[in-house]
Structure 1
Amino acid sequence: MATTDCQSTSGLRLRPCKHQVAGHLFEEGKAGSLVDDRGHFYKPLQMGPRGDREREFYEHIMSAVRNEQDELMDTEASHSGNLSDDGSEASVSGRTSEDDEEHRQQHLPFSVRNAVLLRSIPRFYRTVELDGRKLLELEDVARRYRHPSIIDIKVGFRTWYPTADTRYIEKCKVKDHMTTQAALGFKICGMQVYRSCQRAYWRASKRWCKQLPQEAVNKALVRFANNEAGLRPEDVYGGERGAIAQLRQLEAWFQKQREMCFYSSSVLVIYEGDAETAEEANVTIRLVDFAHTFAAEGHKDSNFIAGTRALIKALTGVMKLDYHDCIL
């Protein structure tokens, strides 16, 4: 994959990201994520292969999109002209309809077959260096919200990847079973909810999230979707523009793609904290954290698909719960 040279951050006015709910936080003397006045987010790269993988993931996406920008129209025209040929080959070779769909997907331009992914991940600008540390300069996904309510949910029934060493796998298995990851297929890593009546945020600590029992997860999901200004779970999770509809689009992309496997990645659900209606909430889903993303080598990412389905089922269920019975 292509490598982007690190650039200096001199001249930029950087400050701690106050809306970071999980991951790199300014806690216990640790260096956290930063933002600037342009709407850019600076995420510290982890040391070793984890940081390399996340950087390479973004650089691969950026390189693939750039390389096809000048050729996209010609590629689409060429592909559309060959659709009938693909169909005849399928009938002769005995390919199943699923095989034929995979074949068609593989020959679509990168930005077309991965359009859902490109909408879901933060935009990548470059890799920068600050005080000897490397950071990814990304889009600040909370920038366009006045009072962003955000929940970070790690997706999948397991966070370990098959090629990892035995010690790492066993460590992940223990953590997955100590949280709701292995049982539910997802876990809440952090969240903040804007309480409109108090004009302030309620934030869940890392410890609170780690100790959240399975039976309390639904209550947490209900609590996240209530901002004391009129919003309820059906406004945030339901509807044509809600979280569930967007998660289904993401799941549909995962069902087709065979290029990448995402372990220990998270879905962010973001909405306008002082909104009074579903339309004002402007709910959006973003996919983040790619330190454990690998080439799929033609295989379906069944772990992430199963986790996404489990999350959709949970969100569908909490829309039927009474908020007053779910106060944490």
Structure 2
Amino acid sequence: MTEDGLLCPPINQVAGHSATGGNIGPLVDKAGRFYKPLQNNQRGQNEVEFYKKFWADQTIPPIVQDLFPRFYGTTSVQTSDETGMCEYAVIEDLTYHFPHPSVIDIKMGSRTWYPGATDEYIKKCLDKDRETTSALLGFRISGLQVYETATKTTWKPDKKWCKELSTEGVRLALKRFVSTNPFSETDPDGSLASIINGDPGGVLSQLLDLKAWFEEQTCFHFSSASVLLIYEGDSTSITEDAHRSGVSVKLIDFAHVIDGQNIIDHNFLGGLCSLIKVISQIMADLGMKLPKESLLTT
């Protein structure tokens, strides 16, 4: 906590770096802003430069801009352990408007290393991609939390649990993410899938908008970026319209974005198509109606 008490660790963070083991972690304020510490190497500056370039590009349509966090610049803040000042990128706090957010962080791509990385870094990424579902599915779950209305508690498995998920385990986790009984390991009901995933303005609709942009854009390649899915987990607050329920799809983590060099980002696009297909299949298995643009209906 900073001296003025206005900044504190984000309680709804499900993946990424945190203030543990001597690390400097992210912070949030009371005005809906998220403070991400800039790493000492080039990664932090790369992320800032991406945000500047993205939000200055007037050719990017508003429907795509809505799928990215707002960027408010950078600032220096006293570290939580009061050992000095740290530079932070200030972006939109994506869970700010959700009283009980259900959140899932999905790292995209079958390959999470970026061209130009060191051999050591590439090996580290390759090992992780092969040990998880990245290589097989084109994406992996990095973290999640699901609010259960009946018990007023949150199911939040640890990172080790997420890392060890098989391909079938990922499908089950995505079903548990839209269930009113997420603690069930064998029989999650998936009863929220129709509204959260399938309705206009829902997860599939927004993922399909993102897919349409990735099928055309050649400005950026997004290595090791994530898609964040968020909705209000208190089912008594969920309406019969996903748009009014505030279902949110956001692309995050841009430390390894590189110039697209007029080439489509097939690594990210492939993972995105796979994610859409898996979510669509979950809905089909539940006997729910799919958007006509779904990969299972085209």
Q: Same fold (TM over 0.5)?
A: yes
Question: In the alignment, is the contact (CA less than 8 A) between 2:178 and 2:190 conserved in 1?
Answer: no
Q: Does 1:304 align with 2:297?
A: no
Q: Give the CA deviation at 1:35.
A: 0.8
Q: Measure how far apart 1:24 and its partner are.
A: 2.3
Deviations 1:13-64 (A, max 9, x none): 10111011111223344332111111111111122111111111112234x2
> Which structure: greater helix fraction?
1
What is the rounded CA distance, in whole Å, between the counterparts of 2:141 and 2:51 in structure 1?
24
Overall identity of the aligned pairs, in %: 42
Shift of 1:165: 2.9
- Offset of 1:237 from its aligned partner? 1.3
What does the per-residue CA deviation read over 1:85-112, in whole Å, with 9 as the maximum and x for residues that have no partner? xxxxxxxxxxxxxxxxxxxxxxxxx334
Larger displacement relative to structure 2 (177-186 or 162-171): 162-171
C-alpha distance in 1 between matches for 2:3 and 2:220: 35
Contact map agreement 2:102 2:231 (CA 8 A) in 1 = yes
Greater shift after overlay, 209-218 or 269-278? 269-278
Conserved? CA contact 1:148–1:270, under 8 Å: yes
Greater C-alpha Rg: 1
Deviations 1:153-173 (A, max 9, x none): 011111012222333222211
Matches of 2:62 and 2:110, distance apart in 1: 25
Among 280, 283, 287, the residue aligned to 2:251: 287
Gaps of 5+ in 2: 79-84, 182-188, 288-298
SS in structure 2 at match of 1:316:
helix
Match of 1:81 in 2: none
Deviations 1:108-159 (A, max 9, x none): xx33434343211111112111232111111111111111110000111110
Question: Could you tell me the TM-score, scaled by structure 2's length?
Answer: 0.84
2:72 to 113, 117, 125: 125
Q: Secondary structure at the match of 1:223?
A: helix
Please show how residues 221-232 of structure 1 align to structure 2 within 5 Å. Answer: 221-228=174-181, 231-232=191-192
The answer to whether the 8 Å contact 2:133/2:140 transfers is yes
Deviation at 1:11? Answer: 5.1
Partners of 1:230 and 1:177 lie apart in 2 by 29
Q: Residue 214 in 1 paired to residue 167 in 2?
A: yes
Counterpart residue number, 2:226: 266
Aligned to 1:15, what secondary structure does the other structure show? coil
Partner of 1:253: 213
Q: 1:190 — aligned with what?
A: 143
Rounded Cα–Cα distance in structure 1 between residues aligned with 2:60 and 2:49: 20
Could you tell me how far 1:236 is from its partner in structure 2? 1.5
Compute the TM-score of the two structures, normalised by the length of structure 1: 0.77
AA partner of residue 234 (structure 1): S
The match for 2:152 is 199
Q: Is 2:104 the partner of 1:151?
A: yes
CA distance in 2, matches of 1:123, 1:244: 22
Matched, 1:240 2:200: yes
Partner of 1:14: 7
Structure 1 unmatched runs, 5+ = 1-8, 65-109, 324-328
Change (3 A) 1:26 1:278: farther
Aligned to 2:52: 59
Alignment check: 8 A CA contact 2:44 2:255 kept: yes
